[in-house]
Structures are given as C-alpha cells and as structure tokens.
Structure 1
C-alpha cells in the first residue's frame, strides 16, 4: 500500500540472507502464536479477578495491583532485554524470551501467597515487550518493507486472537477448575510457541553494526518520547475499564456470571478486527490512524459509562472501544520504529512498555476511583478523559513528517 508524506517509513532492517528462504506465512503465524500465549495471560486474569482475590484473601483494588505487577514487568523488561539482545539473531531472541515466559508461569502456578504471586507475575511480564519486538522485526523481515505494517499486525493479532479464543477458554477453565489453571494453559501455549518458532522461523540476523550503544541512541529521539507519551496516556483509558470488566458487567449490568467467558470472546472479536484493520491503515498513515482511534476510544468509553447498567446495550460501545484500541497498536509500533530507525529492537519494544505502563496506569486510576467510593462504571468515564487527553497530545506532539 502507498505511504503518505507524513508517514514516510524507513526501510525495514536489512539482514544477511534472503527473507524468502522459507515460506513467509508459517513463520509469521509461529511468531503470532507467542503473541497468543502472551495475550492469554495478560487478559485472562481480568476475567478471573473475583476468584483470584478470594483465594489470595485480598480485596478487589489489591487484585488490580496484581494486574499492574505484570504490566510493570513489561515496562522494565522491554527496554532492558531488547537492548541487551540487540546483536542476537531475532529468532534466537524470540526462543530465549519465550522460555523465560514459560518459567514465569510455572512460578505463578506454584506461588503460595499474594506477595509471591506479585513477584511471579512481574517475572512473567519481563519478556513480553522484548518478545514482540523481536517477533515483529522478524516478521517485517520476512514480509519485506512494503508489507511490514501488515506483518507486524499479524504478529500483534496473536494478542487479539487470544482474547477471542485463549482468554474465554482460560476464563471458563479457571471458573470450572480453579483460577490457577490459567497458568497451566498459558504455559502450554508458550511451550507450543517454542516448538513452532524453532521449526518454522528462519534465522533473522541482527543488522550490521547493531549494539547496545546503537540501540540506546533511540532514547535521544524527541519523536520517540512523544509517541510513548501519547500511547501511554491514550491507551490507559481502555484499561481503566478493562481491568474491572467482569464485576462491571455482573454487578452493575446484571449479566449472569456464566456469560463472562462469552463477554471476553466478544471483546476478542473487536480486537482481531481492530488489529488487522489498524495494520492496513498504518501502511497508509500511522499518525492519522493513531489519532482517529484515540478519538473513537474516548467516545466509546464515555458511552459505556452511561449505558453500563444495561449490559446488552453496553456491549456496543465496548466492542467499538476494543476495536479502536487494538487498531492503534500497530500504528504506534510503526511510529516508534520510524522515530529511531537506527534502534529498531529497542524502539519496537518500547511500544509494549508504553502499552503496559498504560495497563498499570489504567488499573491504578480505576482502583483509585473505586476506592473513592464511586460506582464500578465510573472508571470508564475516567478512561474516556484519558483517551481524550491522549488525542490532544497526539495533535501537539506527533507532527507530520516531510517527504
């Protein structure tokens, strides 16, 4: 697809050898399977939050902190691991990072109390962003520069498909057999990813001259920090709602608890549609895609806050918010890589630092609103304000690029 002048994209990193040495699609799908595993663990805990806080003997706001621990692991791990692996083959990096992911889930399964669980969830989050960075760069290499936005979207779609299939499955399994079954299921998805990447993804060497020092030069880019700020604040609005999605629908809207897995699946439908559409739109203009999606998220969350007491009605703005929030993820990835093309590994990983800092921020804002005595649907209104602020910041900080 053609690029507009404001988003003239830098070429994908070159590497030795041909990207066509193996069929493209199987390798990209193998990398997306890792996104599926990561998406399942990141989002399934939200549907099982009532069971988790009951077993760990903490209140609902503390459960939000449990979610934030994973997100903070991503924030810390993404830049450190991505920069540290700058000179390592992308396929090898993906394998090591997914191995660490599996170890974190074994620790979560065996964690005896709330504090230990916090540590285990933090460990599980460490490889999240660096994995997506390595996987996205490998997929972009396989697809070529003209289709890199779509290739990145396919990898990111693993997160979306997780919400369509993995999260409802893990939620149902957790409700039926105990919430810790989520860690068993997700660990198995991680192990399957290790096998698929080892078999189907070719070697993707790091670019010549890649080093920790060259990756760290990305931190000097004002455009990079502007995109991170916009993505963090704008996306946090979605998590102000999504962290507490199960109790909002059951306690406020009157949805039967047995329908929560179907609710998570519907959210996943929106994510799949949004991610794939966002990838195609980003190949036209990543900046404009990001701005339009932030506006849709803000309006949708405001409408959800007003309709939450009628759960069947509130499904409509929820689906719109899920689609728009997911569509902005590939565009943010492209903007970050273009802001520091000399440091693709670190700049790509910072996408997930931004999104998971948004996760932690949204969960914290939601907890603060609930602790202040407001109803469970009010965090969605606060989320609308955050998405609106992200849109305003994008208009100020994300300037069109000259041809």
Structure 2
C-alpha cells in the first residue's frame, strides 16, 4: 500500500466505527441517558441524515480548496464532532453530536475517492479506492466489536474517546503523508450541478440506494435471525458479526480487482444478481448453523464487492463533477441503509418470520440489477470500458 493512501484508510476506519458502533451501544446509551431503545435509535437516524445533508454541501463549500487541505479539515471535523459525544450531558446534545458527526462522512469519502484514483498507478484506480474503504471494513472486524465491548463493560463514552483519537491521528497523518496535489480546475458550479440533471446520474444513485439496500434488509435484523432461526446464543452474536466484517474486507478488494479488469457497470450487474442469490440462500438455509456461518461471511462479501465498481462508475460518468458525484453516492449508500432497514422490517411487523426480510432484499437487489441493465443498454460501449483501458478524464 502506498503511504499516501494511509490517511484515507485511517479516515475510513474513523468513519466506520462512528457509523456502526452506535448499533451495539444502544442499550448502554439508553440506560445511561434514561431514554427508550427506540428513542436511542434516533441517534442512528441522526447520523444518516447528517451524511445525506453534509455530502453535497461540504463538497460544494470546499470546491476551491486543495484536496489535502479539504481532507484535513474533514478529518478534524470528525475528531471534534465525535468528541462532543464524550461530553454530551444529555440526549439532545448527543443527538446533535451524531448529526454533526455525519456531516463530513460523505464529503470525506467523496473527495477521498477522487484523490485515491489520482494517486493510483495506471489501471489500478479501483484498487486504490478500495484501500480507503479498507478502513471502513476493518472497523467492522475490530473497531466496532471493541467499541461495543468497551461500552458494555466500561462506559460508552470511552468508545468516542477512541474514535476522536483515531480522527486526530488521521488529520496528523494527512499532514505528514498526503501529497499536496494540485487543485483541479473545476468546471463552473452550475456546470457541475448539471450532473444531477442527467438521467444516468439519478440511475446510479438509484442503483446504489436500492441495490445496496438489499444488504441492509439482511444485516439490520441479523441478530434475531442468528438467535431465533440459526439457534446461536446471544453471547455469540458479536463474534459472528466479526466474521461478517472479514467478509466485507474480502469483498472490498475482490470488487476493486474486478472493477479495474472489467467494465464497472457490467461487474455491478453480475454482482447484484449474485447478491440476490446469496440472500436466497440465507432465506432457505439459515436453519443450519454451519451453513449460516458460511452465509454470514459470504453475504457481506458479495455486497461489498459493489463498492469499488459503483464508485468508479460514478467518477467515470461525472466528468468535471467527480467529487460532487462521489459524495452524493455516499448519501445514496446511507439512503439504502435506511430503506433496507425500513422495508426489511415490514414483513416482521406483519408477523412473518425472521427470514422474511431476505425476500425484500432479494427484490431490492434484482431491481438494482434491472436498473444497471438499463444503464448498460443506454450507454455507448466505449463508455463502459474498465478503468485499465479508459483514462479518468478529471479536470
């Protein structure tokens, strides 16, 4: 790994722990602040809203900054806003802190994806982007379980101390190792925002939100699936989730290699179909513990292969507006998170079993595949080439 990519990976680690650890800390936070679990759940929603709001706004606000300065500021924002959670005296300030912590998420990944592709060797742009997202996947293997353990056995506020420290290390490493890339000659803002007037732009966002949302139909309700269907004890769930994190790490790199070698759009189509197949397997075979463990690894592995191809597709499609498009993509990922959790929960509310969310996930993945096929059919073959054959035309 190039040392210049280390700050991006550390930023991904910070964001990954920040985003996902609250799911494991909910009971501890609710008990400490004397609120209900559903009220504590709003802390997760507040973060997601922050991502959706902050992704385009911060990229637009920092459009004239050199990338290194922009990323350093975003890393410092992650540090400061997470530090607010340490000292939040009550629920309201913690809710505000979670919203603020979400603001730099999309912008960091959006700017970082473009920077990573600029730092990459020819034909390895997607692999370079994947290194940044490695931090996000490692967070699910180590950071989130560790943060959850600290919250359970010590104090949930200590978890945010760790997040703030990693955020500060990210900012310092950014100053030390990130090269001072020339500021790109951006197209006028009106021209950049014109990206969102394109049908293909919204098609990419739709593919991301709906297709990737299929994963969250599964992972949002994985705990009761493992305990009630697979028969694992509740004490084993955190360790099993580490296996899911390993699957995410593997899928992240597999997807990057596929996107560099093959057309990102065609890779997406195949992977979304494959994702629907894995969710089908979850529906039918989760009753067996050995099969269930295999699927806990395999399902997020397949889902996270989508990340690099969809990022490359957004960057290649948005010539002159790469950072805005990439940041908006992060907002779409979080919309997919919310949609998957909501739609996946509907059959549960009507009394169906804990494998029923997978039916919704299968449909979402197939709809995403259909939208990807539409993208392919409406795009000239020359624009569907893999990054190894197609230069990134960044201005």
TM-score (norm 2): 0.88
What pairs up with 1:163-242 in 2 under 5 angstroms? 163-242=140-219
Q: Go from structure 1 to structure 2 and tell me whether the alpha carbon gap of 1:54 and 1:133 turns closer, same or farther (over 3 Å shift).
A: same
Structure 2: how far apart are the matches of 1:288 and 1:334?
12
In 1, are the aligned partners of 2:186 and 2:320 still within 8 Å (CA)? no
1:245 to 202, 219, 222: 222
CA shift for structure 1 position 305: 3.2
Q: What are the Cα deviations for residues 143-165 of structure 1, in whole angstroms up to 9, with x where unaligned?
A: 24422111111112221121122
DSSP 3-state at the match of 1:48: helix
Unpaired runs of 5+ in structure 2?
383-395
In 2, are the aligned partners of 1:106 and 1:183 still within 8 Å (CA)? yes
In 2, are the aligned partners of 1:233 and 1:387 still within 8 Å (CA)? yes
Q: Does 1:402 align with 2:376?
A: no
Q: Go from structure 1 to structure 2 and tell me whether the alpha carbon gap of 1:258 and 1:59 turns closer, same or farther (over 3 Å shift).
A: same
Q: Does 1:346 align with 2:298?
A: no
In 1, are the aligned partners of 2:216 and 2:340 still within 8 Å (CA)? yes
2:367 to 384, 389, 398: 389
Q: Go from structure 1 to structure 2 and tell me whether the alpha carbon gap of 1:320 and 1:254 turns closer, same or farther (over 3 Å shift).
A: same
Which residue is 2:236 aligned to?
259
Which residue is 1:21 aligned to?
none
1:294 to 249, 255, 272: 272
Which residue is 1:127 aligned to?
104
Instruction: Tell me how large the CA RMSD over aligned residues is.
Output: 2.3
Q: Which moved more, 1:306-315 or 1:291-300?
A: 306-315
DSSP 3-state at the match of 1:275: helix
Structure 2: how far apart are the matches of 1:209 and 1:198?
23
CA shift for structure 1 position 98: 1.3
Q: What are the Cα deviations for residues 366-387 of structure 1, in whole angstroms up to 9, with x where unaligned?
A: 4444444444443233222211
Q: What are the Cα deviations for residues 28-61 of structure 1, in whole angstroms up to 9, with x where unaligned?
A: 1221110011111222223334444454555555
Q: Go from structure 1 to structure 2 and tell me whether the alpha carbon gap of 1:375 and 1:176 turns closer, same or farther (over 3 Å shift).
A: farther
Unpaired runs of 5+ in structure 1?
1-23
Structure 2: how far apart are the matches of 1:360 and 1:336?
21
